[in-house]
Structure 1
Amino acid sequence: MACLLVLAGCGAPAAGTPTAPPGTTTSAPPPSTSSSATSSAAPAPTSTPATRPAPRPQSTPPVSGVVVLDPGHNGGNAANPAAINRPVPAGRGQTKACNTTGTATNAGFPEHAFTWSVSVRVRDILVARGVTVVLTRPNDTGVGPCVDARAAAGNNADAAAVVSIHADGSTNTSAHGFHVAYSSPPLNAQQGEPSLRLARTMRDGLRSAGFPLSTYIGSEGLSPRSDLGGLNLSTRPAVLVECGNMRNATEAAAFSSAAGQQSYAKAIAAGILAYLA
C-alpha cells in the first residue's frame, strides 16, 4: 500500500525523511510516467523541487501564493530498499521508513507514475493562473525523498498550501472513492483551522467534479490522521489526497489513462484555487 507531503500515506501509515532538504530550481521537467530506476546502486534519497513558469491566459485573474505539490513515492524506490527503509523522524516522537514503494493496480500500473502525472498536470493548471509551484521531486525515476524532506520543502517555501497526492491500495476491490487526510490532533496553528479548511476545499473540489467519497476510510471524504510524517512535520497548511483505490477495477482504469489523470488534476487544482481565493 502506498499513498499539500509525507507525505506518504495510503490507507495505512507510510514513510520518512532524507539526509538533507531538497534544493530549488527554476524550471520543471516534462511529465513522465517512467517506473524504472536510473541506477542499481542505493543512493541517498534526494529531491530538487521545481517551479515551472507558464503563460497565463489574459482572461483569467492571477492567483498569488506558493503551492507545494508532493507526488507520492518515486520510480527508483523499489530498486533501492536500503535507502528508503532507513528510519527518519516522522513527528509526534515517531520514526518511520524514509519512504515506500507505493502500490499499483492489479495490472501493474504503479502509484508513483500516477501521482507524478497528476502532479505535473496540477502544476501546469496552477502556473497558468500565476501560482508559483514547487514539486518535492523533479522526476519519476529517482529515489525518495524521505518524508521529512518532503515536509521541509513546504516549510522552507513558506507555502500557502501543501498537497500530497497519492492513491490507495486496499485489497477490498469493492472499496472505492477518495479521501483527504489532515493532521489531527494539530501540532501547530497551521495544522489546525487552515489545514482543515484546505482539506474541505479539496474534498469539495473532487466531489464537485463527480468523484465519489471513500466508502471505506474516513467520514464524508475527510480522514484525521496522527501517523503521517509529512503532515506531522508540516508547519504550513497541508493535506494528503488519496484519490481512490488502485485495486478497484473502475478506479484503476481512470488512474491508468491520460484522460482520467487529467480529470483528477483538474479537480485537485480547483480545490487548491478555491482555497487560495
Structure 2
Amino acid sequence: MPYDHRKTAPRTLALALALAGCCAALAGCGASQASEDSPAAGKGGTQTPPPAVNATPATPTAPGASATPATTAPSSSGSPSGSGQQESRSLAGRTVVVDPGHNPGNFRHSREINAKVDIGTARKECDTTGTSTNGTASEAAYTEAAFTLDVSHRLRDLLTARGAKVVLTHDADRPWGPCIDERAAIGNAARADAVVSVHADGSAVGHRGFHVILPARVSSGAADTGAIVGPSRELGKNIADHFARATGTAPANYLAGGTGLDVRKDLGGLNLSTVPKVFVECGNMRDPKDAALLTSAAWRQKAARGMADGIATYLNG
C-alpha cells in the first residue's frame, strides 16, 4: 500500500532514504489509459444498435459538428503524454473527409434514392440501402448503414485526436442520402487531403476478408480521375496494410486476386472525385464469421484504427 506521509517521521537517515525511494517509485503508478474498445462518440440518427455491442453509446454528434476537431478524444497511441502528444498532432492542418456509406433512413425513401444521377461514365441510382447481416428469430439484422456510421464516428475521433480536421458527408442528420455525386462534391469542396468511404460487402457465404476499392483512370463527361489515380492507390495501399495489421483479418478471398486492392470505374463517388479517395469494404456481412467481427464493438474500433493509421501514414509519407 502507498506510504502515508502523515505518520511520524523516521528517526534514522537510512530509513528515511529508503522510504523516500519507495514513495518515488509508487508515485508514477497512477496513470491510466482509456479503453480502445470504447469510442469517443456513439451511434447517431435512427440506426438500430448492433446485436453484439457491449459498450454503451454516447450522445450522437450534433449536425455540423463533424468538422470540428475533438479536444477530448484519446491520443492515437493511447499515451497521455510525451511522444503520444506529438503523434496526436501529426495531422494538424490536414483535412480528411469520412464518408459513411448509405444512410439509415434510405430504407424509407426508395423513390428519392432510386433517382438516377450522372457518374461520368453512366447514370446510376442516387444511393442504395446497403446490405446487412442475416437476422435471426432472436436477433435483428445489423445494417450496413448502422455499421458504417459507427465506424465513421470512431475513425473521426481517432483522426481529430491527431489534429486533423474531419468532415463527415452525413451524420444521419438528414432523412436520406446524400447522393453519390453529392458525396464526391463534399470531398472536392473541402479540398480534402484524403477521402475514405466506409462500407461493408454483401457477398456469398464463405467469401471473407476486406478490400479497398481504388479509382480507375476515367475521362468522360464530368469524370476525370487522371490526377487522383496515383495518390489514391498510395492511400489505398497504406490503408490495406494497416487495416490488416490492426484487425488481424486477411484481404478478400473472392476478388482482386487476394491483393485487397480492387480497381473500379463504375462508382460515382470515385469517378467524380478530384481529391484522393478510396472505398474500404471492411468485410462481408453475409458470411457468419465476418459478421461476428463486424458486429463486435472491439473489432470495429480496430478497423477504425487501421484506417486512421493508414491515412496518417499516407499523409505523413
Give the structure-2-normalised TM-score: 0.71
- Of 129, 133, 143, the match for 2:176: 143
Tell me what 1:71 maps to.
Answer: 100
Q: What is the rounded CA distance, in whole Å, between the counterparts of 2:68 and 2:145 in structure 1?
A: 20
Whether 2:221 is the aligned partner of 1:205: answer no
Amino acid at match of 2:70: A
Give the structure-1-normalised TM-score: 0.81
Tell me what 1:266 maps to.
Answer: 305
Q: What is the rounded CA distance, in whole Å, between the counterparts of 1:244 and 1:30 in structure 2?
A: 21
Change (3 A) 1:109 1:30: closer
Q: What is the rounded CA distance, in whole Å, between the counterparts of 1:121 and 1:140 in structure 2?
A: 17
Tell me what 2:133 maps to.
Answer: 105
Tell me what 1:32 maps to.
Answer: 44
Tell me what 2:57 maps to.
Answer: none
SS at match of 2:127: coil
Tell me what 1:85 maps to.
Answer: 114
Whether 2:134 is the aligned partner of 1:134: answer no
SS at match of 2:66: coil
Q: What is the rounded CA distance, in whole Å, between the counterparts of 1:264 and 1:60 in structure 2?
A: 23
- Of 214, 225, 231, the match for 1:194: 231
Larger Rg: 2
Are the counterparts in 2 of residues 106 and 247 from structure 1 also a CA contact under 8 Å? Answer: yes
Whether 2:240 is the aligned partner of 1:240: answer no
Offset of residue 217 of structure 1: 1.8
- Per-residue CA deviations over 1:66-91 (Å, capped at 9, x if unaligned) read 00000000011011101100011112
Query: Greater relative contact order (Cα 8 A, min sep 6): structure 1 or 2?
Result: 1
- Per-residue CA deviations over 1:71-113 (Å, capped at 9, x if unaligned) read 0000110111011000111122x11111000000012110000
Q: Percent identity?
A: 45
SS at match of 1:190: coil
Unaligned stretches of 5+ in structure 1?
1-28, 37-46
Tell me what 1:95 maps to.
Answer: 123
Say which structure is richer in helix: 2
Amino acid at match of 2:262: S
Q: Identify the range of structure 1 (133-142 vs 237-246) with the bigger mean alpha-carbon deviation.
A: 133-142
Are the counterparts in 2 of residues 113 and 140 from structure 1 also a CA contact under 8 Å? Answer: no
Tell me what 1:185 maps to.
Answer: 217
Tell me what 1:169 maps to.
Answer: 202
Whether 2:254 is the aligned partner of 1:216: answer yes
Q: How many residues align?
A: 238
Are the counterparts in 2 of residues 33 and 117 from structure 1 also a CA contact under 8 Å? Answer: no
- Per-residue CA deviations over 1:32-85 (Å, capped at 9, x if unaligned) read 37337xxxxxxxxxx968313222665233213100000000011011101100
Unaligned stretches of 5+ in structure 2?
1-40, 49-62, 136-140, 219-223
Q: What is the rounded CA distance, in whole Å, between the counterparts of 1:199 and 1:89 in structure 2?
A: 25
Q: What is the rounded CA distance, in whole Å, between the counterparts of 1:49 and 1:198 in structure 2?
A: 26
Are the counterparts in 2 of residues 70 and 119 from structure 1 also a CA contact under 8 Å? Answer: yes
Are the counterparts in 2 of residues 34 and 140 from structure 1 also a CA contact under 8 Å? Answer: no
Amino acid at match of 2:145: H
Are the counterparts in 2 of residues 71 and 135 from structure 1 also a CA contact under 8 Å? Answer: yes
